[in-house]
Structure 1
C-alpha cells in the first residue's frame, strides 16, 4: 500500500468515527422522551448558526467528509479489498427477498402484540391485522399481495395519524417487497413448485399458480429497480427524521441530549449535538437518495443504528428493525440503476475501454 493510500484509509476511518459520534444521538425521539424543551426552531437555528463553537465543528466535519471523498476518488485505496467485498455481497443476492420479509414481518408482529399501530408513538391497537400481515410476510405466503396490503394499511393509518411518518420506511420497504416477491425460503416457492409439478393433487386444485406466474412475468422487468426503491425509501426516511425531528423540532432533540447526558460522552454543546445529528441524518439520506457511495452509506447507517441502541437503551429495538433490513439490502445490492455509483462505474468502464493497451 502506498503512503497516499494509507493516508486516505486513515482519513476515512477518522470520518467514520466522527459520523458515528454524531449519529449516536440518532433515534426516534418521541420513543425515548415524554417532554421537550420550550425551544422554537427559528430561535434555535438562529442561535446555533451564530455560535462559532457550533458552526465551526460542523463546517470542519463537512469539509473533512468532502476531503475524504475526494481523496478516495483520486487514490482509490484498497481496490482488492473493496472488490472482494462487493463480490461477497453479490453472493447473498438471492436472500434479499427473505431479508426484506423478515425485516418488516417482525416489526408488524411486535406492533400487534405490543398494542401499538406500526409506530410505538401511535397507541392504537390493531392486533389481529398486524399479526396476520407480519406472519404472512415471515412465511412468504402471497407475499406481493401482502406487501401491498401492508402499504395500504400504513397509508390509511397515516391519513388519521401523522405520527406514522416516524416509520416512513414502510413505504419504500413495502414497495421493495412487492418488487422482490417472496424468494426462498418461502411458502410461495414451495406451493409454486408443488403446483407446477405434473401429477400432484395440489396442482389440480390450485387456482393461483397460473395467475401468479403471469403476474411474475409482467413484473420481472421492473425487479431491477429494487435497489433504487430501497435506497430512496431509506434515504427519504433519514432526511425526514433529521430535518423534522431535530432541525425543525429542536426541543425534543435537546430533551434526548439531556435525558442521556450526551454532553458528558463527548464534551460538545447540546446545540452541536442536535445540529450534528440532524445534519448527519439529512446528509446520509441525501447521499442514499442519489445513490452515492451506497454501500458505504448503508454500512454507516447500520453502525449508527447499532450505536444508538447501546447509547439509548430506552429506544425500542423493533422501531429500527426495518431500517436495519433496508440498509442490509443496500449492502448487498449497491446503488442499482439511476444512481451516482452506477454512473461512475459506467464512466470508469468507458475510460478503460478507450485507453489503449500497452504494446
Structure 2
C-alpha cells in the first residue's frame, strides 16, 4: 500500500471513529461542574443561525479571512521578515525530537503524579507506568521503544475508556512523531550512539546491532513522514474538540461562558461565543489535517491555546502542554508530504497572477 492510500485509509478510519463516538467532554469538563441542563444541538444551532446579527458576524469574519488569505498569497512571500522566519524555524529541525519528547513526557509525568490516565477526567491509577515512560522520554533513553510502549498503553486505555480518551489523542501524534523522528539532541540515546560509532570504546562492540531506526528504514518510514503523522492526529483532535465540546454539548460550553463572563470580553450572545469557538477549532483542525496553510493554522492553534491559558485561570495547563508542543513542531516542519500546501496553494498563487519567487521553488520541497 503506497503512502497516499495509507493516508486516505487512516484518515477515513479516524473520521469514522469520530462520527460514531457519542458526544463527550474533557477540556470543558476541566473547568465546569457536572450536571445541569442546556439546549439540544438543533435548538442551539437554530438559536445561533436564526439571529441576523450572528449571521452578519459570521459573514464579516468569513470575508476578513478571505481577504487576508488572498493578501497573504499575493504579497506574503515578498516580505523579508517572512522569509527569515521560515528559514529560522527550519533551522530548528535538529531539536525537533527534543521538542516532541518534552511536549509528550512532561504532561505524561504530570498524569502519573496526578493520579489520572492521560486525561484529567480519566481516574485510573497507572502511576508507575506513566512516570517510567515519561522519564525515558525526557531523558532520551530507549526513546523509540518508550514511544512505542506509550502508544500501546494509550491503545489499551482507549479500549476501556472509549470515547473519552479520544480527547487526548494528541498523545498519539506525540508518540508517533517521536517514534519516527527519534530522540534528537540532546539525548542519552545520541550519546550512546556516538560511543558505539567511535572506535576503541567499549560500546563499539555493539556496533552492527539492529535498532528501531533500522527497522523503520527497512519499512520505508523516514523522518520526513513525521509532519504528516502529527498533522493527522493533531488536526482531528482540534476538530473533534470543537465539534463535540462546543456544538454537540453546548450546555457545558455555555457554563464556561457564564463562569468567566466571556460576553464582557466580546459582547456577543453566549450561544455565538460557543459556536464561534467550535468553528475556530474545527477550521484549525481541518487546515492542519489537510495540510493547507499549515504553519499559519499551527500558529492559530497555538494562539487559541495561549488565549485559553490566560483566559481560564483554573484550567489545568499541564494537560495542554502536548498540544503546545505539537503546534510548535508544525511551525518548524511545515506540512510535510500529502498536503494541500504542495498542490492547492501553488495553484491559487498562479490563479491570482503572482509572479513566482525563489521562495516558491524552496517551498516545493518544504511546503508550509
Do both proteins adopt the same fold according to a TM-score greater than 0.5, normalized to the shorter chain? yes
Tell me how far apart the structure 2 counterparts of residues 136 and 209 of structure 1 sit (CA, whole Å). 21
Cα offset, 1:144, TM superposition: 1.4
Give the number of equivalent residue pairs.
Answer: 326
Name the structure 2 match of 1:165: 166
Cα offset, 1:37, TM superposition: 3.5
Tell me how far apart the structure 2 counterparts of residues 67 and 38 of structure 1 sit (CA, whole Å). 36
Tell me how far apart the structure 2 counterparts of residues 173 and 133 of structure 1 sit (CA, whole Å). 13
- CA gap 1:319/1:71 in 2 versus in 1, 3 angstroms: same
Superposition pairs for residues 99-248 of structure 1, below 5 Å?
A: 99-161=99-161, 162-204=163-205, 206=206, 209-212=209-212, 214-215=214-215, 217-218=217-218, 221-248=221-248
Q: CA RMSD of the aligned region, Å?
A: 2.3
Range moving further from structure 2, 27-36 or 289-298 = 27-36
Q: 1:37 touches 1:255 (CA, 8 Å); kept in 2? A: no
Name the structure 2 match of 1:31: 30
Name the structure 2 match of 1:9: none
Q: 1:295 touches 1:334 (CA, 8 Å); kept in 2? A: yes
Cα offset, 1:245, TM superposition: 0.5
Report the TM-score, using the length of structure 2 for normalisation: 0.83
- CA gap 1:235/1:37 in 2 versus in 1, 3 angstroms: same
- CA gap 1:207/1:251 in 2 versus in 1, 3 angstroms: farther
Superimposed CA distance per residue, residues 95-149 of structure 1 (whole angstroms, 9 cap, x where no aligned partner): 1011001100001100000111110111112100000011111111111121111
Structure 1 stretches lacking a partner, 5+ long: 1-26, 354-359
Q: 2:181 touches 2:223 (CA, 8 Å); kept in 1? A: yes
Secondary structure of the residue that 2:256 maps to in structure 1? Answer: helix
Superimposed CA distance per residue, residues 128-176 of structure 1 (whole angstroms, 9 cap, x where no aligned partner): 0000011111111111121111111111111111211221111222111
Range moving further from structure 2, 327-336 or 290-299 = 290-299
Tell me how far apart the structure 1 counterparts of residues 319 and 108 of structure 2 sit (CA, whole Å). 10
Superimposed CA distance per residue, residues 203-242 of structure 1 (whole angstroms, 9 cap, x where no aligned partner): 33x4984444633542675221111111222111100000
Cα offset, 1:298, TM superposition: 1.3
Range moving further from structure 2, 320-329 or 51-60 = 51-60
Cα offset, 1:54, TM superposition: 2.2
Q: 2:292 touches 2:345 (CA, 8 Å); kept in 1? A: no
- CA gap 1:212/1:73 in 2 versus in 1, 3 angstroms: closer
Cα offset, 1:52, TM superposition: 1.8
Tell me how far apart the structure 1 counterparts of residues 257 and 78 of structure 2 sit (CA, whole Å). 38
Cα offset, 1:79, TM superposition: 2.5
Superposition pairs for residues 1-359 of structure 1, below 5 Å?
A: 28-35=27-34, 36-76=36-76, 78-161=78-161, 162-204=163-205, 206=206, 209-212=209-212, 214-215=214-215, 217-218=217-218, 221-343=221-343, 352=356
Tell me how far apart the structure 1 counterparts of residues 219 and 107 of structure 2 sit (CA, whole Å). 27
Q: 1:257 touches 1:273 (CA, 8 Å); kept in 2? A: yes
Tell me how far apart the structure 2 counterparts of residues 72 and 346 of structure 1 sit (CA, whole Å). 12
Cα offset, 1:343, TM superposition: 2.7
Tell me how far apart the structure 2 counterparts of residues 208 and 248 of structure 1 sit (CA, whole Å). 54
Range moving further from structure 2, 333-342 or 108-117 = 333-342
Tell me how far apart the structure 1 counterparts of residues 198 and 41 of structure 2 sit (CA, whole Å). 63
Report the TM-score, using the length of structure 1 for normalisation: 0.85
Superimposed CA distance per residue, residues 283-328 of structure 1 (whole angstroms, 9 cap, x where no aligned partner): 1111111111111111121122111111001110111100000000
